[in-house]
Amino acid sequence: MAIQSVDPNVGADGIWACLTDYEYEDLRQLFTGIQVAGPDLSVDSMDEGYHAIPPLANSNPAVPACFYPADDYTCIQDSIVEHFNPDLSPPDAGAVPEPLPTGCWQMLDNGARTLDGQPWPAGNINAQYRADDICNGYENYQ
- Binned at pLDDT 50, 70 and 90, residue 12 comes out as low
Q: How many residues does the chain have?
A: 142
> What is the residue type of 70?
A
Contact at 8 Å (CB) between 106 and 85? yes
pTM over 0.95: no
Note the pLDDT of residue 90. 63
Q: How distant is the alpha carbon of residue 111 from its chain centre?
A: 12
CA pair distance 23, 9, nearest whole angstrom = 24
**Pick from 85-89, 114-118, 136-140: least confident:** 136-140
Q: What is the pLDDT of residues 60-86, one digit of tens each?
A: 888 889 999 998 998 899 998 888 888
| CA distances (Å), origin 86, targets 22, 39, 62, 133 | 27, 52, 21, 14
